[in-house]
């Protein structure tokens, strides 16, 4: 059992019979009375993001997790098949365990979190950013770099993101997988 003052981003714990990971947390001090922790947490079984308040006296049941790198192989119905690059074993996981499935391509390396108590897979984490080719967007015009205007674009895998006006079809862009937002253009 851990104290609520031990809560950190990325921490995994059990609450109300479900397993959660901390997405964001904030310590709130009130003018009067005891402070509390406002925690934004993601369920690793359903994928839902919830907010909860914990007092300073609450205890949480933290869970020890291990991260292992797996390579994405293919999709089989509602399941994604990953392969351990060291042992060549395959692992089938439900596709709801990953946030940005439309940014996932065959051959991508992901981290899978395992509960060390029973060695069950909990969630799939993509790299923080990926490089994808723009498959379709309206043509850009030379000199469209002065404004901060964005236009829709479709990238490999089918994800739709907003890109600056100077991006054209065939350009490679770096994308933040957490927010599905454009970061920068990759020059060849």
Given a contact cutoff of 8 angstroms between Cβ atoms, the answer to whether 70 and 88 are in contact is: no
Where are the chain's structural domains?
2-62, 66-125, 130-186
Residue predicted with more confidence, 33 or 172: 172
The whole-model pTM stands at 0.76
Structure confidence at residue 45 (pLDDT): 79
Q: Per-residue confidence at 4, pLDDT binned at 50, 70, 90?
A: confident
CA distance 36 to 97: 30
Question: 137-177: per-residue pLDDT in tens?
Answer: 988 666 666 667 889 999 998 999 999 888 889 999 999 99
Fold of 130-186: OB fold (Dihydrolipoamide Acetyltransferase, E2P) (2.40.50)
Q: What is the CATH number of domain 66-125?
A: 2.40.50.140
Residue 167 main-chain phi, psi, to 5 deg: -80, 135
What would be the CATH architecture of the domain defined by 2-62?
A: Roll (2.30)
Those residues with Cβ within 8 angstroms of residue 33's Cβ, 6 or more apart along the chain or in another chain: none
Q: Is there a common fold for 66-125 and 130-186?
A: yes
* Mean pLDDT of all residues belonging to the chain: 89
- The answer, yes or no, to whether residue 106 has pLDDT greater than 80, is yes
Given a contact cutoff of 8 angstroms between Cβ atoms, the answer to whether 79 and 94 are in contact is: yes
- The answer, yes or no, to whether residue 187 has pLDDT greater than 90, is no
Least trusted range by pLDDT, from 74-78, 98-102, 167-171: 98-102
Question: 6-20: per-residue pLDDT in tens?
Answer: 888 888 999 988 889
């Amino acid at each position: 059992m851990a104290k609520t003052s031990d809560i950190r981003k990325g921490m995994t714990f059990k609450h109300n019979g479900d397993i959660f990971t901390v997405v964001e947390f904030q310590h709130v001090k009130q003018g009067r009375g005891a402070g509390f922790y406002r925690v934004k947490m993601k369920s690793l079984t359903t994928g839902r993001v919830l907010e909860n308040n914990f007092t300073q006296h609450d205890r949480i049941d933290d869970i020890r997790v291990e991260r292992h790198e797996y390579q994405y192989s293919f999709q089989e119905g509602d399941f994604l098949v990953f392969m351990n690059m060291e042992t060549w074993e395959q692992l089938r996981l439900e596709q709801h365990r990953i946030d940005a499935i439309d940014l996932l391509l065959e051959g991508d390396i992901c981290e899978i979190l395992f509960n060390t108590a029973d060695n069950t897979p909990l969630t799939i984490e993509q790299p923080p950013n990926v490089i994808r080719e723009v498959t379709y967007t309206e043509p850009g015009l030379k000199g469209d770099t002065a404004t901060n205007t964005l236009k829709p674009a479709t990238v490999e895998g089918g994800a739709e993101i907003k890109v600056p006006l100077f991006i054209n079809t065939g350009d490679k862009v770096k994308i933040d997988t957490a927010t599905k937002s454009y970061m920068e253009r990759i020059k060849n």
